[in-house]
C-alpha cells in the first residue's frame, strides 16, 4: 500500500525542464531505502496542462524494461504508469532529487512494445500533449483498477485461439470483379500507403476482407487493424469479418463497449490472440504486436478526428503507424479527403507525385448504375415549398411500387428556432450564443450546445403572445409533414404509408438504432427521414430514391472545408440508392438522387450530377492552392476560453507576440484572435487564433517551443482569467 503523509510528489524526469510542481519538494524521511538501485522514467496520466512535463522519475529495485506497466504513487493516489525509457543505474548514489519508489509491476502482462511507445511519443509531440496523457488514454480503463493478481487471473481466463478457421463463407468465395482483382494485385505487390477510391457499392469491403485473408494465411503471427468512423457501423462490419474469419479471430474496440469488454479485446490484441482488431478512432492506439495491415474505411470521415482532449487524427496516425511498423495501410473512400487525394496524385512533369498509391474502382458491383442526380431549382417553386411537387410524385411512385425512399436533412428536432411574431422574441439559449431547438415530441426547448432544456412556454416569455411559432424545419417536422402529405395514399396492399425517422433523438436508447435499421432492411418502412446518420455506410437493398431537401447552407459557409464535407455527404447519400442491381431490374426501377437547391448551377452540384469526384477535387484543390490553404499549407488553432471574450482574445494576442522570437516564427503566420463561430457555450466565451505555415516542420518547431511559454503566460496576470487553452493541430473546422 502507498505510504501516507508526508507524501512527496514524484520528480519530473531530468529530460524535461518542467518545473517541480507544488510545494512538496521536501525530501521524505524514507526517500532512499536501500536496494532501490534504478531510476525509472515513467509515463503517468498527469492532468492536462499541469506542466509536470512528460515523464516522472521513480526509484526501483529492478531494472524494469521499457513498456512494463507499474503502479506508482502520485500525490496522494497510486496510479498506473508505463516505464518509458531504459532504466538508469543509480550506482549506489541517490540523485539530487529524492525519488519515490515505484509500486508493483504488472509483470503478468508482456511489456508494451517499442513501436507502440514510438507511436505514443510521436502523437504526443505532434499534437502537443504529454506522453502520459496519450499513453494512459490508450490503455483500457479497467487496467488502472486491477491488482497484479486480478490481472493475472484475467489473463489466464483468456481463450486460446488456434489458427484462423476457414468458415463456410470463406470456402465459398465470390469471384472478384476485374477492378477488385487489379486493386488487390497492386496491394499485394507494393508496399506503403494505398488510397482505394471506390464508388459506393464497388466492393471495397470485399477488397479489405481479401487483403486480410491473404495476410493471415501467409503469416501466422500477423495481425490486422480495421478502422471505421462510427460505432454504429461496427456491428455490420464485425458480422462480415466474423463470418469470414470466425468469432475468435476478431475483436472490437470502441467507446460503446463496457470496461470489461474493452479490457478483454485489448488483451486479445496485445497478446496476439486476436488476428483482427476492428474499431473506431481509438483503436489506432491499440497494442498490436503483429501489426502488418491497417485499413481505414471511409478515410475522409470527420469522425476520425478527435475533437476534445488530445485532438488527434486517427487517419493520419494510422499512416504514420503503418510506416513505422512496416505495415501496409489502405485508406478507402468514395470521396477521399482532399489531403489524401492530393497525396496520391500521379507524377507529372517536375512533380514527383504523392506518397500514396492511388487505386480506383469506379464501377458498382453487379453493374448497378450510380443513381441519376436530379436537381430541383427551388427558385422556380412557389414560396415556402418544403418538398417540390416533382419530388413528391417521385416518392409517391416508389410507394406505389413497394420501394423505399430516404430523405436526408441534416438538422434534428422539430424546428431550429421558436419565435414570437409580435415582439421578436426568439428561443435563445441563456448560456450560449445559439438558439434552443424546439422538440415537439416532448415539448421542450433544448440547447444542442450546452444541453440546457426547458419546457416550451405556453406564451411568449417576453410579451405574453400565445402564438409563438416554429421557424425553419428539422427532421421531426419533416416527418410530420410527410405523414400529412401521404395520409391519403395507400401502399400496394391497401395499407397506410409507413414513415420513420432516424436521428440522434430517435436512437438514444441502447439498441434503438439497430432495431430501426433492421426495420428498414426488412422493408417495414416506406419513407425514411434522417440526418447524416442514415447517409453513411448502410447497405440498404430496397431504397431507390434518396433526396437532400435543404443542403445549401454548406455552400457559403465560412469554413473552407464545408463544400468538401457536403460533396462527400451527398455522394454517400446517393450511394444508399439502388445498391441492388437485381432488385432494380426486377422492379423495372431506376435509382435517383434528388437535390432541392436555390443554386442549381453551383459547380459542386454540377460535379455531383456526373458523380465526378475528380472534377470536384480538382476545382477545390485549385482554389486551395491559389489561397494557400491545406493541403498546400499547414494549420493549427490556438484556443482560449474565459468568462469574457476580451480576456480570451488578449491571452491569444499576448501569446502571439511572445512567439515572435521563437524558432520558425518567420515562416509561420499568426492571424489575429477572433471569437469562435459559436462564441459562447455554457457561459464560457471562446476565442481562437489561426496559425499557418507552408512548412509543417516550421509549424511544429514553433508549437513545441511555444508550449512552455503558454504555460508560463497562464500564470501571469494576463492569464489569470483564462479558464483553459489548447492547441488543435491540423484542425478540421475553423
Ligand atoms: P463498398 O464497401 O465499396 O460500398 P461492399 O464491399 O459493401 O461495397 O460491396 C457492396 C455489395 O456487393 C455487398 O453486398 C457485397 O457483398 C457485394 N460484393 C462485393 N464484391 C462482390 C463480388 N466480387 N461479386 C459479387 N458481389 C460482391
Ligand atoms: Zn413576444
Ligand atoms: Zn446552451
Query: What is the per-residue pLDDT across 479-506, written as a single tens digit (0 to 9) for each?
Result: 999 999 999 999 999 999 999 999 999 9
- 513-527 pLDDT, tens digit per residue, is 889 999 999 999 999
Q: How confident is the model at residue 7 (pLDDT cuts 50, 70, 90)?
A: very low
Least confident of 150-164, 382-396, 450-464, 635-649: 150-164
For residue 207, the ligand 1 atom closest to its alpha carbon is: 6
CA nearest ligand 1 atom 10, residue: 201
For residue 297, the ligand 1 atom closest to its alpha carbon is: 2
- 613-640 pLDDT, tens digit per residue, is 999 999 999 999 999 999 999 999 999 9
Helix (H) or strand (E) holding 59: strand 56-60
Is 171's pLDDT higher than 50?
no
Ligand 1 pocket, mutate which of 204, 364, 365, 577 (most atoms under 8 A from CB): 365
CA 62 to centroid of ligand 3, rounded, Å: 53
Mean pLDDT within 654-679:
93
500 CB-contact burial (10 Å; exposed 0-12 / middle 13-18 / buried 19+): middle
CA 470 to centroid of ligand 2, rounded, Å: 13
CA nearest ligand 1 atom 5, residue: 203
Write down the mean pLDDT value for the chain: 89
Chain centroid to CA 518:
25
Q: Which ligand places an atom closest to the C-alpha of 365?
A: 1
Mean pLDDT within 244-268:
93
Give pLDDT, residue 455: 96
Mean pLDDT within 536-546:
85
CA 644 to centroid of ligand 1, rounded, Å: 54
CA 412 to centroid of ligand 2, rounded, Å: 25
Q: Per the structure block, which three cell numbers stand in for 542?
A: 430496397
- 391-422 pLDDT, tens digit per residue, is 999 999 999 999 999 999 999 999 999 999 99
249: which DSSP letter?
Answer: G
DSSP 287-304: --TTEEEEEEETTT-GGG
Give pLDDT, residue 290: 97
CA 461 to centroid of ligand 2, rounded, Å: 7
For residue 175, the ligand 1 atom closest to its alpha carbon is: 23
Report the distance separating Cα 220 and Cα 163, nearest Å.
Answer: 8
The angle at the Cα of 330, spanning 326 to 334, to the nearest 5 degrees, equals: 165
Residue extent(s) of CATH 3.40.1440.60 domains in the chain: 3-156
Give pLDDT, residue 538: 77
CA nearest ligand 1 atom 14, residue: 539
> Beta strands 69-74 and 77-83: pairing type?
antiparallel
Asked if the 3-156 domain carries CATH number 3.40.50.300, the reply is: no
Give pLDDT, residue 179: 95
Give pLDDT, residue 174: 83
Rg over CA atoms, the chain: 28
Give pLDDT, residue 6: 37
Residue extent(s) of CATH 3.40.50.300 domains in the chain: 168-365, 368-412+474-626
For residue 365, the ligand 1 atom closest to its alpha carbon is: 12
Residues in the chain: 734
Q: Which ligand places an atom closest to the C-alpha of 425?
A: 2
Q: Which ligand places an atom closest to the C-alpha of 462?
A: 2
- 178-197 pLDDT, tens digit per residue, is 999 999 999 999 999 999 99
Which residues form the pocket of ligand 1, taking CB atoms under 6 Å from any ligand atom?
A: 174-177, 180, 198, 200-206, 365, 539
- Determine contact, residues 731/710, Cβ cutoff 8 Å: no
Q: How confident is the model at residue 11 (pLDDT cuts 50, 70, 90)?
A: low
Is 229's pLDDT higher than 50?
yes
Q: Which ligand places an atom closest to the C-alpha of 682?
A: 3
CA 468 to centroid of ligand 2, rounded, Å: 7
Report the distance separating Cα 106 and Cα 143, nearest Å.
Answer: 10
Residues 6+ apart with CB under 8 A from 643: 683, 684, 685, 721, 723
Is 94's pLDDT higher than 60?
yes
Q: How confident is the model at residue 231 (pLDDT cuts 50, 70, 90)?
A: confident
For residue 177, the ligand 1 atom closest to its alpha carbon is: 23
Mean pLDDT within 10-21:
46
Ligand 1 pocket, mutate which of 197, 206, 335, 537 (most atoms under 8 A from CB): 206
Q: Per the structure block, which three cell numbers stand in for 585?
A: 431490374
Q: How confident is the model at residue 536 (pLDDT cuts 50, 70, 90)?
A: confident
Is 376's pLDDT higher than 60?
yes
% of residues, the chain, pLDDT over 90: 73
Residue 17, number of CB atoms within 10 A of its CB? 8
CA 38 to centroid of ligand 3, rounded, Å: 52
- 127-145 pLDDT, tens digit per residue, is 999 999 999 999 999 998 8
Say which residue, 554 or 195, is predicted with more confidence: 195
CATH fold of 634-729 reads: Alpha-Beta Plaits (3.30.70)
Q: Which ligand places an atom closest to the C-alpha of 460?
A: 2
Is 707's pLDDT higher than 80?
yes
**Closest C-alpha to 210, from 332, 314, 362:** 332
Say which residue, 320 or 536, is predicted with more confidence: 320
Ligand 1 pocket, mutate which of 205, 228, 299 (most atoms under 8 A from CB): 205
Whether residue 449 is preceded by a cis peptide bond, meaning omega within 30 degrees of 0, is no
Is 165's pLDDT higher than 80?
no
Helix (H) or strand (E) holding 532: none
Give pLDDT, residue 42: 95
CATH fold of 168-365 reads: Rossmann fold (3.40.50)
87-98: b (≥16 Cβ within 10 Å) or e: beebeeeeeebb
Give pLDDT, residue 640: 97
CA 58 to centroid of ligand 1, rounded, Å: 54
% of residues, the chain, pLDDT over 70: 91
Q: What's the Cα-to-Cα distance from 198 to each of 195, 333, 335, 575, 583, rounded to whole Å?
A: 9, 6, 8, 11, 22
CA 421 to centroid of ligand 2, rounded, Å: 7
Give pLDDT, residue 8: 41
Mean pLDDT within 687-709:
95
The CATH number given to 368-412+474-626 is: 3.40.50.300
- 712-726 pLDDT, tens digit per residue, is 999 998 888 999 999
CA 423 to centroid of ligand 3, rounded, Å: 22
Give pLDDT, residue 10: 56
Is 429's pLDDT higher than 60?
yes
Contacts 24+ apart (CB under 8 A), 337-342: 337/299, 337/300, 337/564, 338/564, 338/617, 338/620, 338/621, 338/624, 338/630, 338/631, 339/630, 339/631, 340/195, 340/299, 340/300, 340/315, 341/195, 341/197, 341/617, 341/621, 342/621, 342/631
Mean pLDDT within 202-218:
94
Measure the CA dihedral 229/233/236/239, to 10°.
Answer: 50
Amino acid at each position: 500500500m502507498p505510504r501516507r503523509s508526508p507524501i512527496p510528489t514524484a520528480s519530473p524526469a531530468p529530460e524535461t525542464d518542467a518545473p517541480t510542481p507544488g510545494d512538496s519538494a521536501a525530501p521524505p524521511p524514507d526517500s532512499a531505502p536501500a536496494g532501490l538501485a534504478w531510476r525509472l522514467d515513467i509515463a503517468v496520466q498527469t492532468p492536462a496542462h499541469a506542466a509536470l512535463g512528460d515523464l516522472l522519475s521513480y526509484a526501483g529495485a529492478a531494472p524494469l524494461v521499457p513498456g512494463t506497466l507499474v503502479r506508482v504513487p502520485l500525490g496522494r493516489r497510486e496510479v498506473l504508469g508505463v516505464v518509458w525509457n531504459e532504466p538508469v543505474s543509480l550506482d549506489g548514489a541517490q540523485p539530487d532529487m529524492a525519488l519515490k519508489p515505484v509500486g508493483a509491476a504488472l509483470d503478468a502482462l508482456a511489456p508494451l512494445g517499442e513501436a507502440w511507445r514510438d507511436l505514443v511519443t510521436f502523437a504526443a509531440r505532434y499534437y502537443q500533449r504529454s506522453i502520459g496523457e496519450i499513453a494512459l488514454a490508450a490503455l483500457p480503463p479497467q487496467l488502472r483498477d486491477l491488482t497484479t493478481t486480478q490481472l493475472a487471473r484475467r489473463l489466464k481466463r483468456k481463450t486460446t485461439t488456434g489458427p484462423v478457421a476457414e468458415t463456410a463463407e470463406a470456402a465459398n468465395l465470390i469471384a472478384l470483379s476485374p477492378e477488385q482483382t487489379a486493386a488487390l494485385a497492386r496491394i499485394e505487390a507494393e508496399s506503403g500507403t494505398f488510397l482505394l477510391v471506390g464508388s459506393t457499392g464497388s466492393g471495397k469491403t470485399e477488397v479489405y476482407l481479401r487483403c486480410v485473408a491473404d495476410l493471415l494465411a501467409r503469416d501466422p503471427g500477423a495481425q490486422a487493424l480495421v478502422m471505421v468512423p462510427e460505432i454504429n457501423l461496427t456491428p455490420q462490419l464485425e458480422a462480415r469479418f466474423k463470418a469470414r474469419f470466425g468469432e475468435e479471430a476478431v475483436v472490437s474496440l470502441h467507446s460503446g463497449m463496457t470496461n470489461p469488454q474493452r479490457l478483454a479485446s485489448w488483451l486479445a490484441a496485445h497478446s496476439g490472440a486476436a488476428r483482427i482488431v476492428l474499431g473506431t478512432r481509438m483503436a489506432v492506439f491499440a497494442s498490436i504486436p503483429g501489426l502488418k495491415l491497417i485499413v481505414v474505411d471511409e478515410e475522409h470521415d470527420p469522425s476520425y478526428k478527435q475533437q476534445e482532449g488530445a485532438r488527434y487524427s486517427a487517419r493520419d496516425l494510422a499512416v504514420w503507424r503503418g510506416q513505422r511498423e512496416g505495415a501496409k495501410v489502405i485508406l478507402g473512400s468514395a470521396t477521399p479527403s482532399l489531403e489524401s487525394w492530393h497525396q496520391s496524385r500521379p507524377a507529372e512533369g517536375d512533380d514527383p507525385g504523392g506518397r500514396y498509391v492511388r487505386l480506383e474502382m469506379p464501377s458498382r458491383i453487379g453493374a448497378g448504375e450510380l443513381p441519376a442526380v436530379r436537381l430541383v431549382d427551388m427558385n422556380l417553386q412557389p414560396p415556402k415549398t418544403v418538398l417540390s411537387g416533382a419530388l413528391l410524385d417521385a416518392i409517391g411512385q416508389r410507394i406505389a411500387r413497394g420501394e423505399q425512399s430516404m430523405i436526408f436533412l441534416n438538422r434534428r428536432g422539430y424546428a431550429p428556432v421558436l419565435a414570437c411574431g409580435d415582439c421578436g422574441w426568439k428561443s435563445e439559449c441563456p448560456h450560449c450564443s445559439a438558439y434552443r431547438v424546439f422538440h415537439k415530441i416532448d415539448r421542450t426547448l433544448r440547447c444542442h450546445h450546452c444541453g440546457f432544456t426547458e419546457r416550451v412556454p405556453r406564451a411568449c416569455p417576453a410579451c405574453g403572445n400565445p402564438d409563438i411559432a416554429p421557424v425553419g424545419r428539422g427532421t421531426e417536422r419533416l416527418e410530420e409533414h410527410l405523414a400529412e402529405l401521404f395520409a391519403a395514399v395507400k401502399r400496394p396492399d391497401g395499407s397506410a404509408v409507413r414513415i420513420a425517422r432516424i436521428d440522434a433523438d430517435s436512437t438514444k436508447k441502447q439498441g434503438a438504432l439497430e432495431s430501426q435499421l433492421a426495420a428498414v432492411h426488412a422493408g417495414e418502412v416506406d419513407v425514411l427521414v434522417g440526418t447524416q446518420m442514415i447517409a453513411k455506410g448502410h447497405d440498404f437493398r430496397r431504397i431507390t430514391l434518396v433526396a437532400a431537401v435543404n443542403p445549401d447552407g454548406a455552400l457559403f459557409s465560412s469554413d473552407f472545408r464545408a463544400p468538401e464535407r457536403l460533396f462527400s455527404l451527398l455522394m454517400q447519400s446517393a450511394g444508399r440508392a439502388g445498391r441492388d442491381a437485381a432488385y432494380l431490374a426486377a422492379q423495372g426501377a431506376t435509382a435517383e438522387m434528388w437535390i432541392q437547391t436555390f443554386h442549381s448551377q453551383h459547380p459542386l452540384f454540377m460535379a455531383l450530377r456526373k458523380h465526378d469526384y475528380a472534377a470536384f477535387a480538382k476545382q477545390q484543390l485549385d482554389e486551395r492552392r491559389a489561397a494557400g490553404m491545406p493541403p498546400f499549407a499547414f494549420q493549427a488553432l490556438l484556443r482560449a476560453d474565459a468568462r469574457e471574450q476580451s480576456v480570451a482574445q488578449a491571452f491569444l494576442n499576448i501569446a502571439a507576440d511572445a512567439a515572435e522570437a521563437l524558432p520558425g516564427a518567420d515562416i509561420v503566420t499568426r492571424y489575429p484572435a477572433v471569437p469562435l463561430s459559436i462564441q459562447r457555450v455554457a457561459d464560457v466565451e471562446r476565442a481562437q487564433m489561426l496559425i499557418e505555415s507552408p512548412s509543417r516542420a516550421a509549424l511544429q518547431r514553433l508549437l513545441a517551443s511555444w508550449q512552455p511559454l503558454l504555460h508560463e503566460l497562464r500564470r501571469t496576470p494576463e492569464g489569470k482569467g483564462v479558464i483553459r487553452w489548447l492547441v488543435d493541430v491540423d484542425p478540421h473546422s475553423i
